[in-house]
Amino acid sequence: MLNAKIPAGPLDKKWTSYKSTCKLVNPANKRKLEIVVVGTGLAGASAAAALGELGYKVKAFCFQDSPRRAHSIAAQGGINAAKNYQNDGDSVYRLFYDTIKGGDYRAREGNVHRLAEVSGAIIDQCVAQGVPFAREYGGLLSNRSFGGTQVQRTFYAAGQTGQQLLLGAYSALERQVALGNVTMYNRHEMLDVVVVDGKARGIIARDLVSGKLERHFGHAVLLCSGGYGNVFYLSTNAMGSNVTAAWKAHKKGAFFGNPCFTQIHPTCIPVSGDHQSKLTLMSESLRNDGRIWVPKKQNDTRKASDIPEEERDYYLERRYPAFGNLVPRDVASRAAKERCDAGYGVGSSKQAVYLDYADAIKRYGKIEAGKKGLDHASEAEIIALGKEVVKEKYGNLFDMYEKITGENPYETPMRIYPAVHYTMGGLWVDYELMTNVPGLYALGEANFSDHGANRLGASALMQGLADGYFVIPYTLGNYLADDIHTKPLPEDHPAFVEAEKAVADRIQQLMSIKGTKTVESFHKRLGKIMWDKCGMARNAEGLKQAIAEIQQLKKEFWSDVKIPGEINELNPELDKANRVADFIELGELMCIDALNRNESCGGHFREESQTPEGEAQRDDANYMYVAAWEYKGDHQWELHKEVLDYEVVKPSQRSYK
């Protein structure tokens, strides 16, 4: 059975007692132990750097041209930490509680409490690295609030927090490269895990420039390869973000946890046409000051500025007076979909709602006028002052909106619509971040562990860095302490030869199909199936159809895909084909998981399971478990359940009213 290996003892002592009693590896032995790290986002870069500092021999891999490109870089809003610098009642317990509640009681207490415990040290570490967080005039760090919480615990660097944190981790990583502790493999993609006697012992990677396959041994393999939102084709993920590393691990025996838990972010720039290749997020921090509304009249074609105040429906403030525009992401997304489906959407597509800064501009303008002693400032002067304040807080986001849409958000409300953004599901891991395959770990978004069925804003960065800087350096030693006598496997070991052959055969098979349809066309079709039937709202009938459609799509892909070019050259279409083939298989599993989970929780909304007011209805009696799926062959999976015990928090129906 699945054993999460949660340490015994009271919740707030578990991590401390684990750290004090876990096994250690002495420095002389660390030098002999090799670690493979796949992915160099916040989780991977911080893990590779921290392990290099400890003296392990690390090999890190990324598919981009530099580890600094990893998609953590695009996170905008901030990173949470229970510092309570604002004296507003925050604590480790509250951060823990908010995360468990925000996750709709589908996350493990032990992991989440540890996350909250180490959150403060992350901020300390980043500041020490020179990450330029926003500061107040007194020189101390500034905080902002974020959705799903009532305290100000989010640290930020304008709208580029992810960039600054990633560049901090990247610089720590490059320092270890310079010191010779980490070898960096850019433009490399992991295409299989090598398992020997049941333990992960390395990977097969493809050099994306030469197309050659390589064998890399590791005493342990850490997958830090991010989420799988691109299964929907359109998402806020980078174009290259993919599930391939995690999926290969899954097919080699690692269980996949809660694959259907995907987060649809409420504030993204709406789709403009069929040519669309990706969606762009507008930071959730915009909900701090912006007000979301639609017209009270259906199919209202007037311009936003022509719709008087009394004819606007601020539906989040109306439905959720306690949290208003700051309800968690899943709640905000569904509310937008509900209004648009009911015919109140705006813009040419009618699949959008307004995010309006007019009130915030006036409010800030009045405060500024007051500060400057301008008692008789005109309306126009107040608005001009207010725009300056908004520009300082959100300028880069407003500029980005204008570049993409050609509309000026200081003058007209922004149009926004939900888009796929993050995947809470991922490889199943225990308390030590190890999958059920010994020696194979998953960190950051690639694992399923900390966010339950819905992630709170500014918590992804926290988790990535917690896993890399402060968890894996301890838990990995606990495993490797028993592995110090294992010699590195030679590259001609049969397990490597066999794994490489399987990878080569599959690439050969893909190239030899020589069909008629492009990789992109299959990816788009998969995305449409997933968005329509496994998106913001799901029902049994739709999911069954989706499973059949995806199985059909897979057949078609493997008989009719057209990939130009050669194997042994730089061939982005072949790279993409490898990834899309895995996305298709994952899509099927996501639908199976969504079909199995006949309850609504967090980002997973089953239409069959809702309250009379249309709110999500959880079913704790039947579904308070992690669904961990074991791959059993083509289209076959076996469900394992990890029952969630809540020792400290009492699960209740989430209410943000």
Partner 1 sequence: MEHYNMNLNLKVWRQKNAQTQGGFETYQVKNISSEMSFLEMIDVLNEELIAEGKDPIAFDHDCREGICGMCSLYIDGRPHGPWEQNTTCQLHMRAYKDGDTITIEPWRAGAFPVLKDLMVDRSAFDRIIQAGGFISVNTGNAVDANALPIEKDKADASFAAAACIGCGACVAACKNSSAMLFTSAKVTQLALLPQGAPERKSRALNMIAQMDKEGFGACTNTGACEAVCPKGISLTNIARLNQEYLGAALTVN
**Which 494-533 positions form the footprint of partner 1 (CB under 8 A)?**
518, 520-521
**Which 72-91 positions form the footprint of partner 1 (CB under 8 A)?**
73-74, 83, 85
CA neighbor of 593 nearest in space, from 549, 634, 623: 623
Residue 540 as a binder of partner 1 (CB under 8 A): the answer is no
Q: Is 108 a catalytic residue?
A: no
Cα dihedral 47/51/56/58 (nearest 10)? 30
594: part of which helix (H) or strand (E)? helix 572-596
Stretch that binds partner 1, among 6-14, 30-38, 64-72, 637-645 (CB under 8 A): 64-72
Cα 521 from Cα 3, distance rounded (Å): 41
By CB under 8 A, name the one of 25, 95, 167, 414 that touches partner 1.
Answer: 167
CB of 431 to partner 1, least distance (A): 20
Residue 59 as a binder of partner 1 (CB under 8 A): the answer is no
Cα 346 from Cα 605, distance rounded (Å): 24
Which CB sits closer to partner 1, 320 or 354? 354
Site pattern 449..488 for partner 1 (x: CB under 8 A): --------------------xx--x---------------
Which CB sits closer to partner 1, 407 or 608? 407
By CB under 8 A, name the one of 29, 351, 405, 436 that touches partner 1.
Answer: 405
Residue 397 as a binder of partner 1 (CB under 8 A): the answer is no
Stretch that binds partner 1, among 88-96, 131-139, 325-333, 437-445 (CB under 8 A): 131-139
CA–CA distance from 315 to each of 148, 228, 417 (Å)?
17, 31, 14
Among 287, 329, 538, 597, the one annotated catalytic: 329
By CB under 8 A, name the one of 103, 240, 266, 542 that touches partner 1.
Answer: 240
* Matching residue, tokens 């969630």: 644
Site pattern 410..439 for partner 1 (x: CB under 8 A): ------------------------------
Give alpha helix (H) positions in 343-488.
Answer: 358-371, 379-405, 460-465, 472-480
By CB under 8 A, name the one of 11, 48, 157, 331 that touches partner 1.
Answer: 157
| Bridge partner residues of 353 (DSSP) | 416
Residue 24 as a binder of partner 1 (CB under 8 A): the answer is no
Which CB sits closer to partner 1, 160 or 285? 160
Cα 261 from Cα 238, distance rounded (Å): 19
In the DSSP assignment, the letter for residue 103 is T
Give the length of the chain: 657
By CB under 8 A, name the one of 84, 143, 152, 160 that touches partner 1.
Answer: 160
Stretch that binds partner 1, among 315-323, 381-389, 403-411, 499-507 (CB under 8 A): 403-411
Cα dihedral 149/166/48/438 (nearest 10)? 40
For 292, other C-beta atoms within 10 Å of its C-beta total 27
By CB under 8 A, name the one of 183, 186, 539, 596 that touches partner 1.
Answer: 186
Site pattern 192..231 for partner 1 (x: CB under 8 A): -----------------x----------------------
CB of 398 to partner 1, least distance (A): 13
CB of 1 to partner 1, least distance (A): 35
* Matching residue, tokens 């995690």: 246
By CB under 8 A, name the one of 141, 196, 495, 511 that touches partner 1.
Answer: 141
CB of 141 to partner 1, least distance (A): 6
Check: CB of residue 427 under 8 Å from CB of residue 405: no
| Bridge partner residues of 194 (DSSP) | 202
Which CB sits closer to partner 1, 179 or 342? 179
Residue 130 as a binder of partner 1 (CB under 8 A): the answer is yes
Helix pair 42-54, 161-178: axis angle to 10 deg: 30
Which CB sits closer to partner 1, 400 or 416? 400
CB of 457 to partner 1, least distance (A): 17
344 three-state secondary structure: coil
Helix pair 244-251, 572-596: axis angle to 10 deg: 60
161 three-state secondary structure: helix
> How do strand 440-442 and strand 561-562 relate by DSSP bridges?
unpaired
By CB under 8 A, name the one of 29, 91, 129, 349 that touches partner 1.
Answer: 129
Cα 585 from Cα 589, distance rounded (Å): 7
Check: CB of residue 102 under 8 Å from CB of residue 148: yes
CB of 423 to partner 1, least distance (A): 17
Cα 485 from Cα 494, distance rounded (Å): 20
CB of 175 to partner 1, least distance (A): 4
Residue 65 as a binder of partner 1 (CB under 8 A): the answer is yes
**Which 265-324 positions form the footprint of partner 1 (CB under 8 A)?**
272-273, 275-278, 280-281
* Matching residue, tokens 């804003």: 457
Cα 418 from Cα 353, distance rounded (Å): 10
Which CB sits closer to partner 1, 69 or 339? 69
Stretch that binds partner 1, among 223-231, 328-336, 397-405, 527-535 (CB under 8 A): 397-405
Give me the phi and psi of 35, to 5 degrees please. Answer: -120, 130
Stretch that binds partner 1, among 29-37, 529-537, 549-557, 564-572 (CB under 8 A): 564-572
In the DSSP assignment, the letter for residue 129 is H
By CB under 8 A, name the one of 127, 196, 495, 567 that touches partner 1.
Answer: 127
CA neighbor of 476 nearest in space, from 225, 219, 126: 219
- What's the chain's Rg over C-alpha atoms? 24
CA neighbor of 283 nearest in space, from 493, 114, 461, 439: 461
Which CB sits closer to partner 1, 143 or 262? 143
Check: CB of residue 79 under 8 Å from CB of residue 161: yes
Check: CB of residue 304 under 8 Å from CB of residue 293: no
Residue 335 as a binder of partner 1 (CB under 8 A): the answer is no
Check: CB of residue 628 under 8 Å from CB of residue 611: no
Applying CB under 8 A, what is the total number of residues that bind partner 1? Answer: 83
**Which 567-626 positions form the footprint of partner 1 (CB under 8 A)?**
569-570, 572-573
CB of 170 to partner 1, least distance (A): 7
Residues contacting residue 238 through CB under 8 Å, at least 6 positions apart: 69, 71, 74, 278
59: part of which helix (H) or strand (E)? strand 57-61
Cα 592 from Cα 11, distance rounded (Å): 33
Which CB sits closer to partner 1, 238 or 353? 238
Stretch that binds partner 1, among 28-36, 225-233, 259-267, 399-407 (CB under 8 A): 399-407
Which CB sits closer to partner 1, 242 or 454? 242
Residue 648 as a binder of partner 1 (CB under 8 A): the answer is no
CB of 628 to partner 1, least distance (A): 30
- Catalytic residue positions, numbered: 329
